[in-house]
Amino acid sequence: MNFSKSGWISLSVATVASLTLGVEAASAQLSATGMSCNVANLTGTTDCEGIFSGNDSNTITTETSLFGKTGWTELFKVDNSSGTTGPLTVKLNEAREETSGTWELSEDFNFDSYESVMFVLKGGNSFTSYLSDGETMAGDWNTNDALKGNGRRGAGLSHFTVWTTGTGNDNDEPTPTPVPEPAALLGLGSVALASRFLRRKSDEV
């Protein structure tokens, strides 16, 4: 079987495209550990999904569906058990214990800028996602939804990430006020002039 150079190029492009789509599809699929999460482990949230194996930063894509939504984008990440990145600050309750602490978003962060916000806590070789209630700016966290290498809960926090999807109400552009066309302005001027002329005639009678 003979292939022309253009045939090989077409085949190569198709192969690369197929492999790319395959990788994206695989990335969009989260690997469940079979263990459930508890929304009480992160205050200011209304739902949770997980526990998943792996790392959210290289697993979640815009195609990943979480809480019935896709298009998730990583916004801020404290890539440690404590620290500050952008408006997000994460602290530990005990310096030597990386399993519980507090989190806070500064006033620079506006929930209304996004359709939905979720927090992801990663520890060990696992992570859990929590859906924000869209108003709480600070709270407590623990890693009871993070698995150690032996499969037990309570791994130390590796990172705390803020993910968002969509745009909120404050991104809605105001409806522009229509500007009258020149012809319309001329017509209005003529009506006003005629009305004034008739009023003057009426006064003279």
In a domain? residue 129: yes
CA-to-CA distance for 163 and 120, rounded, in angstroms?
Answer: 8
Count other C-beta atoms under 10 Å from residue 72's C-beta: 24
Kindly report, residue by residue over 90-109, the tens digit of the pLDDT. 999 998 899 999 999 999 99
Kindly report, residue by residue over 37-84, the tens digit of the pLDDT. 999 999 999 999 999 999 999 999 999 999 999 999 999 999 999 999
Higher per-residue confidence, 40 vs 19? 40
In a domain? residue 20: no
In a domain? residue 4: no
Instruction: Give all strands (DSSP E) within 18-62, no chain letters.
Output: 45-53
In a domain? residue 91: yes
Residue 32 has pLDDT above 60, yes or no: yes
Locate 13 and state its tokens: 């492009």
- Residue 116 pLDDT level (bands cut at 50, 70, 90): very high
In a domain? residue 17: no
Q: Cβ(73)–Cβ(116) under 8 Å?
A: no
Q: Is the pTM of this model over 0.85?
A: no
CA-to-CA distance for 205 and 188, rounded, in angstroms?
Answer: 26
* Number of structural domains the chain divides into: 1
In a domain? residue 164: yes
Q: Which domain holds residue 123?
A: 25-171
In a domain? residue 177: no
Kindly report, residue by residue over 119-142, the tens digit of the pLDDT. 999 999 999 999 999 999 999 999
In a domain? residue 195: no
CA-to-CA distance for 126 and 148, rounded, in angstroms?
Answer: 8
